[in-house]
């Protein structure tokens, strides 16, 4: 079993995916108390540390196999005004600091597609060079969640850095898993209260979803994104202006809203994953998560890389 430390753990999307890939989490660092409650509700044995990552020294975890994290995306998203390193929420420097302290075999960091915009060319170069100075070779790749069976667009950039002394190569996952439609994924949940119109709705919701947007504390109540996203949801027969408390009733007429459980399923969370907090807090936890199936796919490739390292050590012993 390979070990990992995760920063900015959120509600556990990446952690769950890496667990599925065969990693044992020795520490998960998350600043939000409600998110920490979610993590502990689902995995009481996890060592969840409710702390600002800026105060996490990491020394106790020196030499672990993997340092992972989904550092905050607002500094690089269009919605967050793309302030990059000038945004106080930019935690890439903390990830690099912890890489130097912990010296993991592998580093995995994910962020929004916006970090690939030309405005951040120099910033990406600085991240790469900082990790190279610490003795790592760095790759990044734009991954679409829909290529891993997740029924939404959700492009995400994943950085993977391998320590130079490891005699093994990392390759990003290449196998494409067909994503089902929104209707196929949510039909049973929409029908929970006996909605008579569910069959017609499933037929209309015949494509994958647009990217689910979690928003931030500065954002209002939960909804499915800006105007353009709401139009895309409407094309699927979904009212994106809010989140429902429950599925449509038997005689409901019109476009239904999604519940948080439905949104969680669209993110790739299993139905038994419990979220703590108010409806708005839960929606943000779900919407800001890294889909577990994508994290799992990358984690499997990292595990293969680490397994090669272990094999070389045994052969050389």
- Active site residue ranges: 73
**Contact, 157 vs 111, CB < 8 A?**
yes
Structure tokens at 89: 């929420």
**Contact, 248 vs 190, CB < 8 A?**
yes
Largest CA distance in the chain: 70
Q: What is the 3-state secondary structure (H, E, C) of the chain?
A: CEEEEEECCCCCHHHHHHHHCCEEEEEEEECCHHHHHHHHHHCCCCCEEECCHHHCCCHHHCCCCEEEECCCCHHHCCCCCCCHHHCCCCCHHHHHHHHHHHCCCEEEEEEEHHHHCHHHHHHHHHHHHHHHHCCEEEEEEEEEHHHECCCECCEEEEEEEEECCCCCCCCCCCCCECCCCHHHHHHHHHCCCCCCCHHHHHHHCCCCECCCCCCCCCCCCCCCCCHHHHHHHHHCCCCCCCCECCCCCCCCCCCCCCEHHHHHHHCCCCCCCCCCCCHHHHHHHHHCCCCHHHHHHHHHHHHHHHHHHHHHHHHHC
């Amino acid at each position: 079993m390979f070990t990992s430390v995760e920063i900015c753990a959120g509600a556990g999307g990446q952690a769950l995916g890496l667990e599925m890939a065969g990693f044992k989490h020795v520490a998960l660092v998350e600043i939000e108390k409600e998110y920490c409650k979610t993590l502990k509700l689902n995995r009481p044995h996890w060592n969840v540390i409710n702390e600002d990552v800026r105060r996490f020294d990491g020394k106790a975890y020196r030499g672990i196999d993997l340092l992972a994290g989904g550092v905050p995306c607002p500094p690089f998203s269009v919605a967050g005004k793309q302030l990059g390193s000038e945004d106080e929420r930019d935690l890439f420097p903390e990830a690099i600091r912890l890489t130097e302290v912990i010296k993991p075999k592998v580093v995995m960091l994910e962020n929004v597609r916006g970090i690939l915009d030309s405005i951040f060319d120099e910033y990406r170069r600085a991240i790469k060079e900082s990790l190279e100075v610490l003795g790592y070779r760095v790759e990044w790749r734009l991954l679409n969640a829909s290529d891993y069976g997740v029924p939404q667009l959700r492009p995400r950039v994943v950085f993977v850095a391998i320590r130079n002394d490891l005699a093994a190569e990392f390759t990003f996952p290449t196998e494409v898993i067909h994503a089902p439609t929104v209707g196929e994924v949510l039909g049973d949940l929409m029908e929970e209260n006996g909605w008579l119109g569910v069959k017609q709705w499933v037929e209309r919701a015949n494509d994958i979803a647009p990217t689910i947007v979690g928003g931030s504390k500065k954002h209002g109540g939960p909804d499915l994104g800006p105007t353009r996203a709401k139009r895309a949801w409407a094309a699927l027969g979904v009212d994106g202006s809010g989140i429902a408390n429950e599925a449509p009733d038997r005689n409901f007429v019109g476009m239904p809203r999604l519940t948080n459980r439905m949104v969680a399923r669209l993110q790739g969370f299993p139905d038994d994953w419990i979220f703590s907090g108010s409806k708005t807090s839960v929606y943000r936890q779900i919407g800001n998560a890294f889909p577990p199936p994508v994290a799992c796919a990358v984690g499997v490739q990292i595990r293969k890389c680490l397994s090669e390292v272990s094999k070389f050590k045994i052969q050389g012993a």
